[in-house]
Amino acid sequence: MPLQAAAQDTESRLREAIRDGNPTILKVQGATIRVVFAEGKTVLSKEQILDWVRTDAQTVAKYYGAFPVPELGLLLVPVAGGKINQGVTYGDGMPVIRVGIGRDADAATLERDWVMVHEMVHLAFPLMPRRHHWLEEGIATYVEPLARAQAGLLPPEKVWGDLMRDLHQGLPADGDQGLDNTHTWGRTYWGGALFCLMAELRLREQTNNRFGLQDALRGINRDSGGMAHEWPILRALKAGDAATGMQVLSDLYAEMANKPVTPDLPVLWARLGVAMVDGKIVFNDRAAMAGIRQAITRAR
């Protein structure tokens, strides 16, 4: 089947395109990534694009301690414009990712891109029933900038500045019925990210900064095999709790699943020592949770 037809993008077409294409094989920490290029020209060379894929795969592997799945199919499709977009990931068996590469995208576009890391982070978490989509997307939204920061691709100021700017979109509005029952865009992506940050901070406070959400997510990935499998949400959260020796994920889910929870974000930023001054992010390293803030973006 012509690869440009596959770009219309159902899961079956995507898998067929990768199966029938002429893949370039990348090896990342023992994992095999089969990269297939759909027909079409881009300003970027094939070598530049492959270097970008390899770098982002290594970034995700660094965060999780290993690349999340043993095999991945990746279809790269030239699209109009100069952006990286149209990312989609499917699991159940060998996971596959489709990403659109703007025909006019350049090397600076690749350096700024977040889409590829976001999609690869999805690989580390088991498939959930649709009502728990907020957790899948929330993890990808939260982890993507942290993984890039730990790999030296983003400064901490950018990570915390973006969280200050965007996390309020995940707060519950009037009529909210909890994360499992409120499926707006903001609650799905940023509500899920809010859950992740609250779990992160609670874990680090209760363990004196010895464990964080990264440890829980690594445990879930090890036990589940990632997106190649479907798990109930409580099984995944309990696997994360087992990895840290705490019950933070299960308890927080019980709090937030079926009713609105509204943390005071300005107070939270102050405790973390994050402030916006004259349009720039400024850190207060004497704040109560400054050490936790520093640990979250520190390379491991």
> pLDDT tens digits, residue range 254-277?
999 999 999 999 999 999 999 999
The confidence band for 1, taking pLDDT boundaries of 50, 70 and 90, is very low
Calculate mean pLDDT across residues 93-121.
96
Tell me the mean pLDDT in the region 18-34: 92
Q: Are residues 140 and 286 in the same domain?
A: yes
Q: What is the pTM of this model?
A: 0.94
Same domain, 10 and 138: no
Q: H or E stretch including 35?
A: strand 31-37
Instruction: Count how many domains the chain has.
Output: 2
Task: Check pLDDT > 70 for residue 136.
Answer: yes
Asked if 292 and 252 sit in the same domain, the reply is yes
| Same-domain status, 117 and 138 | no
- Among candidate residues 122, 154, 170, the one where a domain is terminated: 122
Q: Does residue 230 sit in helix, strand or coil? A: strand
Q: Which of 122, 147, 174 is the last residue of a domain?
A: 122
Do 159 and 199 share a domain, yes or no? yes
Mean pLDDT, the chain, rounded, equals 94
pLDDT at 212 over 80: yes
Categorize the per-residue pLDDT at 9 as very low, low, confident or very high, splitting at 50, 70 and 90: low
User: Would you say residue 2 has pLDDT above 70?
Assistant: no
SS3 67: coil
The percentage of residues in the chain with a pLDDT greater than 70, rounded to a whole number, is: 97
Same domain membership, residue 284 and residue 153: yes
Q: Any idea what the CATH number is for the domain that residue 97 is in?
A: 3.40.390
User: Could you say which of 77, 92, 122 is where a domain stops?
Assistant: 122
DSSP string, 146-177: HHHHHTTSS-HHHHHHHHHHHGGGGS--TT--
160 and 290 part of one domain: yes
Tell me: do 237 and 116 sit in the same domain.
no
Alpha helices in 68-191 (DSSP H): 107-112, 115-122, 133-150, 156-166, 185-186
Say whether both 145 and 215 belong to one domain.
yes
**Domain encompassing residue 252:** 130-297
Q: Nearest Cα to 72, choosing from 100, 98, 102, 101?
A: 98
Average of per-residue pLDDT across 155-171: 98
Say yes or no: 209 and 84 in one domain. Answer: no
Which one, of 296, 276, 275, 292, lies nearest residue 284 by Cα? 275
- 48 and 182 co-located in one domain: no
Tell me the average pLDDT across 12-33: 90
**pLDDT bucket at 3, cuts 50 / 70 / 90:** very low
Give the per-residue pLDDT at 85.
93
pLDDT of 5: 37
DSSP one-letter code for 189 = I
Say if residue 110 is in the same domain as residue 70: yes
Percent of the chain with pLDDT over 90: 90
Specify whether the CB–CB gap between 147 and 63 falls below 8 A. Answer: yes
What's residue 83's pLDDT?
97
